[in-house]
Structure formats: structure tokens, C-alpha cells
């Protein structure tokens, strides 16, 4: 089992920044790729970003490319999402996700629900 706990959400004005953190624990030796997925109000969950096991490969949704940066520190068992130039349409519950199956990030773009483990989510609200 793998446990994921997000933190860092909140309310921010458009153009502002937030950094989300995801602490992971449990059978972390079995974790491969990790990602951030968000669920806007009244919509399905959507892919935001993915990072490989070593952090060497990253993938972003077009809507956040150039504004968000995903990273992970395996020594601290923590993954991050730095969000800059935030827009009202970024408002959503942001989930940390992980998988114990070695898949490329592109796999999850249209299959976010295939991540095996999920955090509880953290709310990000961007005001205009």
C-alpha cells in the first residue's frame, strides 16, 4: 500500500502562485510514475502533469504547459507542483496520484483513473 497526502492549496488571485506538495509513504519502493490530476467544479478529473520515477521525464497538459512545474524529491518522499500565473480556470480540487505499474506519462493523459493510488485532494481557488 502507498499513502499520499497533499498540502498547499488555498485561495489566490489571478496571476499569483501556489506550490502544492504530496508526501508519500508506505511501500514507496514499488512506486513508479506519479502525477497531479485536478477536478474542476462539476467536471471529471483531468490530467495535469506526470513525472517519472527518477524525475528525469515530465509531461504536462497543454493548458498548464509553461506555467506549472512538477518535481519530486525521492530523498524526502515528496512530490511538488509549482503553479505560476494562475488563472480562474485553474480552480479545482488537485489530487496527487501514483502508480506501481511502470507506464509512460502519456498513458495517463486519457486514463487518469488508472493511477493506482490517490491522495485526498486539496482545493485551489483562483479569483479573478
Return the number of other C-beta atoms located less than 10 Å from residue 8's C-beta: 16
Closest residue by Cα to residue 93 from 44, 52, 58 = 44
Percent pLDDT > 90 in the chain is 94
Q: What is the DSSP string of 67-126?
A: TEEEEEETTTTEEEEEE-S--GGG-EEEEEEE-SS---HHHHTT-GGG-SEE---EEEEE
State the average pLDDT for the chain: 96
pLDDT level of residue 4 (50, 70, 90 thresholds): very high
Q: What is the pLDDT of residue 28?
A: 87
pLDDT tens, position by position, 23-32: 999 998 889 9
Cα–Cα distance between 103 and 71 in angstroms, integer?
A: 18
> For position 15, what pLDDT does the model report?
98
Amino acid at each position: 500500500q502507498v499513502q499520499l497526502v497533499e498540502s498547499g492549496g488555498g485561495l489566490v488571485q489571478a496571476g499569483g502562485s501556489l506550490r502544492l506538495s504530496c508526501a508519500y509513504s508506505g511501500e514507496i519502493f514499488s512506486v513508479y510514475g506519479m502525477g497531479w490530476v485536478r477536478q474542476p467544479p462539476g467536471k471529471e478529473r483531468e490530467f495535469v502533469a506526470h513525472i517519472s520515477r527518477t524525475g528525469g521525464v515530465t509531461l504536462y497538459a497543454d493548458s498548464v504547459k509553461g506555467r506549472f512545474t512538477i518535481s519530486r524529491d525521492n530523498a524526502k518522499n515528496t512530490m511538488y507542483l509549482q503553479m505560476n500565473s494562475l488563472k480562474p480556470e485553474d480552480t479545482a480540487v488537485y489530487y496527487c496520484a501514483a502508480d506501481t505499474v511502470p507506464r509512460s506519462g502519456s498513458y495517463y493523459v486519457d486514463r487518469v483513473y488508472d493511477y493506482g493510488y490517490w491522495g485526498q485532494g486539496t482545493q485551489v481557488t483562483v479569483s479573478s
